[in-house]
A = this chain, B = another copy of it.
Amino acid sequence: MHHPVPPDSRGMDEPLNLVLFSGTDDKLTAAAVLAAGAAALGRPVNVFLQYWALDAFRADRIEQDHGLAPEAGEAGRAAVDRLREAGQSSWAETLRQAKQLGGVDIQACSLSMDLLRLETSDLDPLVDGVEGVTAFHLAAGDGQVVFI
Contact = CB atoms under 8 A, between A and B. Distances in A.
A37 B132 contact: yes
A6 B138 contact: yes
Q: Please give the count of copies of this chain that the complex contains.
A: 3
Given A21-B30, A71-B23, A134-B2, A116 B148 contact: no
B51 A143 contact: no
A135 B9 CA distance: 11
A11 B146 contact: no
Report the contact-size class of chain A (Cβ under 8 Å from the partner). Answer: 35 or more
Interface stretch (A75-83, A99-107, A119-127): A75-83
Interface of A: 1-3, 5-6, 9-12, 14, 16, 19, 21-24, 26-27, 30, 33-34, 36-38, 40-41, 43, 50-52, 55, 67, 69-72, 76, 79-80, 83, 110-111, 114-117, 132-138, 140-148
Contacts of A5: 138
12 contacts: A1-B133, A6-B138, A9-B138, A16-B137, A52-B69, A67-B71, A79-B116, A80-B115, A83-B114, A145-B146, A146-B146, A147-B147
